[in-house]
Amino acid sequence: MTAFAGLSLNQATVQNLSVPEAVELCVRHDIGAIGLWREHVARTGLAASAACAKAAGLTVSSLCRGGFFTHADPAARAAAIADNKAAIVEAAALGTDTLVLVSGGLVPGRRDIGLARRLIADAIGELVPVAQAHGVRLGVEALHPVFAADRCVISRLGEALDLACQFPADAVGVVVDTYHVWWDAALLPDIARAGERIVSYQVCDWILPLPAETLLGRGHVGDGHIDFPPITAAVAAAGYAGYVETEIFNQTIWDAPADDTAATVAKRYPTIF
């Protein structure tokens, strides 16, 4: 029923666990891959994190995340580029070929959204040779427009793709995250157009009401309003053959026992098809 590699648990879903704890959780629940976060990796140590996943036989499906490129201030911009270069090196050390990018919102104190977009394209251009040298692909993630002002001015998959296509396909791709793009009338044709530029497929559901902290308004697959099967079919038809990451930011889920969360994630996974 699928050419995908299988289910991956994005570590953000079990925010309270360290890398070794999250790895053990995946093993207990027969989840073959994990998406790691830099903060957690830093806490455990890069080499220790890589060794831990490897010893458990887990694939690291992606590293989250680089980005936040929208600085007009030269020092802040240089710091962002340096940090992203470090993230590429970390991704390679962890054995994943995918670094997810959250590109950044409006430039601080500015309303010019075009300026923010140009700064992102310029920054990615600087990172491309580094990504190629390390065999890592940068995954431009379109974020829901509710985050356009403060987190990411790239709001639609098509826009992420147009940006990615300015660069070689071995260096820059796009992330399809159902939470961010489900509402878009052009989603299915844009997925088809993305083809092998798709470097990651992430799933979680759009639930209502939104919580006060908009970032945390995500639900388990099936608890909300997203029609997953047509999106999954389009991603598969586009040629994506990697892991499907479940990535859920939700305080209630974070507060729940991680084994319950992993069990629900694994149980719901087949319903995306």
Q: Which residues bind its own copies (CB under 8 A)?
A: 106, 111-113, 117, 144-146, 148-150, 153, 155-156, 159, 182-185, 206, 208-212, 214, 224-227
Q: Which value, in Å, is the radius of gyration of the alpha carbons in the chain?
A: 17
Q: How far is the CB of 109 from its own copies (least distance, A)?
A: 10
The CA distance from 162 to 147, in Å, is: 19
Return d(Cα 204, Cα 136) in angstroms, integer: 25
67 or 217: whose CB is closer to its own copies? 217
Nearer to its own copies, 44 or 202 (CB): 202
Cross-strand bridge partners of residue 99: 63, 138
Cβ(6)–Cβ(245) below 8 Å: no
Minimum Å distance from CB 185 to its own copies? 5
Alpha-carbon distances of 144 from 22, 156, 176, 197, rounded to whole Å: 27, 7, 11, 20
Minimum CB–partner distance for residue 75 and its own copies (Å): 23
CA 1-31-247 angle, to 5 degrees, is 90
Burial group, residue 85, by CB count within 10 angstroms (0-12, 13-18, 19+): middle
Q: How far is the CB of 153 from its own copies (least distance, A)?
A: 7
* Shorter beta-carbon distance to its own copies: residue 28 or 225: 225
Q: Compute the least distance from the CB of residue 226 to its own copies, in Å.
A: 7
Distances (CA, A) of 103 to 13, 23, 116: 21, 28, 9
Contact 81, 123 (CB under 8 A): yes
Which residue's CB is nearer to its own copies, number 91 or number 153?
Answer: 153
Task: CB nearer to its own copies: give 209 or 257.
Answer: 209
Nearer to its own copies, 43 or 225 (CB): 225
Closest approach of Cβ 16 to its own copies, in Å?
A: 24
